[in-house]
Structure 1
């Protein structure tokens, strides 16, 4: 019985995370994170 409860809890956590990620309000934040590897570093590396 506890295995079923754990499975249900993990399923709800997964679906909740999936819904949170795909909300339109997060699009700008994720787009900015996606561009990070392509941006030039303007500063010299610090030693």
Structure 2
């Protein structure tokens, strides 16, 4: 086998892996998990803003 044959085989393998990853990412089974992960960043923001508000109120009370 020469270099061109190996390169062709490598190209086919990478293409198959790409298709597999794309199917995995867009599968219906994963949609719920990905939606939860996408929304989790907003939950963290809400928690941190609540903590900051509580801290501001406590510092005002201590003055």
Q: Give the TM-score range, shorter chain.
A: 0.7 to 0.9
RMSD after superposition: 1.5
Task: Please say which structure displays the higher CA radius of gyration.
Answer: 2
What is the deviation of 1:37?
1.3
CA distance in 2, matches of 1:41, 1:31: 19
| Displacement over 6 Å in runs of 4+ | none
Runs of at least 5 residues in structure 2 that lack an aligned partner in the other structure = 52-63
Equivalent positions of 1:8-47 (< 5 A) are 8-39=12-43, 40-41=46-47
Per chain length, whose mean CA-contact separation is higher, i.e. which structure has more relative contact order (CA < 8 Å, sep 6+)? 2
TM-score of the aligned structures, taking structure 1 as reference length: 0.77
Runs of at least 5 residues in structure 1 that lack an aligned partner in the other structure = none
**Which has more helix, going by share of residues?**
2
* Equivalent pairs, count: 43
